[in-house]
């Protein structure tokens, strides 16, 4: 992960929600594909009858956090700086509120998320109770001009149980002028009592057109190289409506990884074991964690698409043809079991710090076995 500019600390710290080479959601001025959700928040803000809790849901990387920060800028700005028709949350980038939200220096804004432990050089595995306890002093303080107080919890499904219960206490009886924005890709993990106290806004995956425009803007903003004409369709298919996923794939060499996986499955049951050992050696070091995770994410996604193509006859012509050849009628159970086994063993390898090369070699061996049954 890239290093962010920390304004509250003397030293810049990593941020769990920042993609390397891509503007952070609070630095993103334009939101694509979620006009109805934005209008709902803008109208509530302009009406003066603002609900105190909002649950922003939808798959990862589609703009939930961007919408949350967009709302924070509008709510913390002077009313004259907002859209008078209450249809948009757009605020000039030159306003004081915009500068303060971008730098996390506004006294009326609190961000609750997983933190970075400077001793272990790792992010915490969940949002801790200590992180939520900052709410007490934050909510007890009133800003000088009596403006809104905005609390963004990103991602809310990463709250541990004690932290969730601590948050619930504030959600049950929030002080006037307080708005909670809970960002969650898996709201089913939240306590039912938390969900019941929030209005839910479901954000849909982006269309390919919106996906391409949003990704292009993000890459241009950071001076990054743009995908080629032939790359876009592949990235759009792999991203599945998530601009965050598309940008992550592009930045981490996801296209090349995807080509290697496609070549691997297309050659079955024959395998070039020399290239597989070279791949395993590349992904073995701890420094290759991002590429290791990406390989298995793409591998499992590729396997899932082949299984779905065999069951539903959906997917690209190449996927349907390959699924028919590899899986056919008699190997569906074997491939489904392989997907479950690889997903489980990958999680165990990461959690228990097991040998990564062994996992990769076992995964390919299991793929060959499934294809030969």
* Cβ atoms 163, 126 nearer than 8 A: yes
Residue 163 and residue 128 in contact, taking contact as beta carbons nearer than 8 Å: yes
* Closest of 173, 118, 178, 122 to residue 153, by C-alpha: 178
Strands 109-112 and 53-57: unpaired
pLDDT the model gives residue 144: 59
- Asked whether residue 71 falls in the same domain as residue 147, the answer is yes
The verdict on 34 and 148 lying in the same domain is yes
Question: pLDDT at position 146, please?
Answer: 64
pLDDT 10s digits, 127-156:
999 999 999 999 987 655 668 999 999 999
Whether residue 89 is found in the same domain as residue 168: yes
Same domain for 184 and 257, yes or no, is no
| The pLDDT of residue 3 | 36
Asked if residue 6 is part of any domain, the answer here is no
Question: What is the rounded (10 degree) CA torsion for 167, 168, 169, 174?
Answer: 90
From 202, 230, 265, give the residue that closes a domain. 202
Residue 236 covered by a domain: no
CATH number of the CATH domain containing 82:
3.40.50.300
Give the pLDDT score at 330: 84
Residues 171 and 274 reside in one and the same domain: no
**Domain residue limits at 32:** 25-202
Number of domains in the chain: 2
Looking at the structure, tell me whether residues 187 and 296 fall in a common domain: no
Domain end, chosen from 202, 230, 261, is at 202
- Helices 289-312 & 332-352, crossing angle to 10 degrees? 160
In a domain, 232, yes or no: no
Same domain, 325 and 196: no
CA distance 15 to 27: 13
The pLDDT value given to residue 8: 40
pLDDT in tens, 320-349: 999 999 998 789 999 999 999 999 999 999
Contact criterion met (CB below 8 Å) for 151 and 158: no
∠ Cα 153 155 158 (to 5°): 110
Residue 183 sits in the same domain as residue 262 = no
* Residue-by-residue DSSP string for 23-51: --GGG-----S-HHHHHHHHHHHHHT---
CATH at residue 309: 1.20.272
My answer on whether 55 and 182 are in the same domain is: yes
Same domain, 33 and 106: yes
270/198 same-domain check: no
**Same domain for 181 and 34?**
yes
pLDDT digits (tens, 9 = 90+) for 26-63: 999 899 999 999 999 999 999 988 999 999 999 999 99
Tell me if 5 is assigned to some domain: no
> pLDDT at position 7, please?
38
Structural domain contains residue 268: yes
Last residue in a domain, options 138, 168, 202: 202
Question: What pLDDT, on a 0 to 100 scale, did the predictor assign at position 221?
Answer: 82
CA distances for 235 relative to 119, 213, 224, 230, angstroms: 37, 13, 16, 9
Q: Is there a domain that residue 288 lies in?
A: yes
Q: What's the average model confidence in pLDDT over 205-222?
A: 91
Would 20 be classed as within a structural domain? no
- The lowest-confidence range among 11-25, 36-50, 145-159, 227-241 is 11-25
Count of residues in the chain: 373
Pairing of strands 178-184, 53-57: parallel
In a domain, 258, yes or no: yes
Instruction: Grade residue 1 by pLDDT with cuts at 50, 70 and 90.
Output: very low
């Amino acid at each position: 992960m890239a290093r962010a500019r920390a304004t509250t600390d003397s030293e810049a710290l990593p941020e769990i929600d920042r993609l390397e080479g891509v503007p952070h959601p609070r630095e993103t001025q334009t939101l694509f594909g979620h006009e109805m959700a934005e209008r709902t928040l803008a109208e509530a803000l302009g009406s003066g009858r603002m609900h105190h809790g909002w649950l922003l849901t939808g798959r990862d990387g589609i703009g939930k956090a961007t919408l949350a920060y967009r709302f924070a800028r509008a709510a913390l700005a002077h009313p004259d700086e907002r859209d008078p028709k209450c249809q948009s949350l757009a605020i000039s980038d030159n306003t004081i509120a915009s500068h303060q939200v971008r730098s996390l220096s506004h006294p009326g804004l609190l961000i609750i998320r997983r933190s970075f432990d400077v001793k272990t050089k790792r992010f915490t595995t969940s949002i801790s109770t200590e992180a939520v306890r900052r709410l007490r002093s934050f909510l007890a303080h009133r800003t000088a001009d009596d403006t809104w107080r905005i609390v963004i919890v990103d991602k809310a499904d990463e709250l541990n149980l004690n932290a969730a219960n601590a948050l619930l206490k504030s959600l049950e009886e929030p002080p006037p002028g307080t708005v909670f924005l809970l960002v969650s890709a898996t709201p089913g993990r939240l306590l039912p009592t938390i969900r019941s106290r929030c209005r839910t806004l479901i954000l849909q995956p982006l269309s390919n057109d919106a996906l391409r425009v949003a990704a292009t803007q993000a890459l241009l903003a950071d001076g990054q190289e743009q995908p080629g004409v032939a790359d876009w369709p592949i990235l759009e298919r792999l991203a599945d409506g998530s601009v965050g996923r598309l940008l992550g794939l592009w930045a981490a060499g996801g296209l090349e990884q995807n080509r290697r996986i496609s070549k691997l499955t297309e050659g079955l049951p024959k395998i070039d074991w020399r290239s597989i050992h070279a791949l395993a050696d590349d992904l073995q070091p701890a420094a290759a964690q991002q590429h290791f995770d990406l390989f298995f994410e793409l591998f499992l996604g590729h396997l899932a698409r082949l299984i779905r193509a065999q069951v539903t006859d959906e997917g690209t012509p190449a996927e349907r043809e390959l699924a028919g050849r590899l899986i056919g009628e008699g190997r569906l159970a074997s491939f489904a079991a392989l997907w479950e086994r690889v997903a489980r063993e990958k999680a165990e390898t990461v959690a228990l710090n097991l040998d990564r090369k062994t996992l990769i070699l076992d995964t390919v061996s299991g793929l060959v076995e499934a294809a030969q049954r």
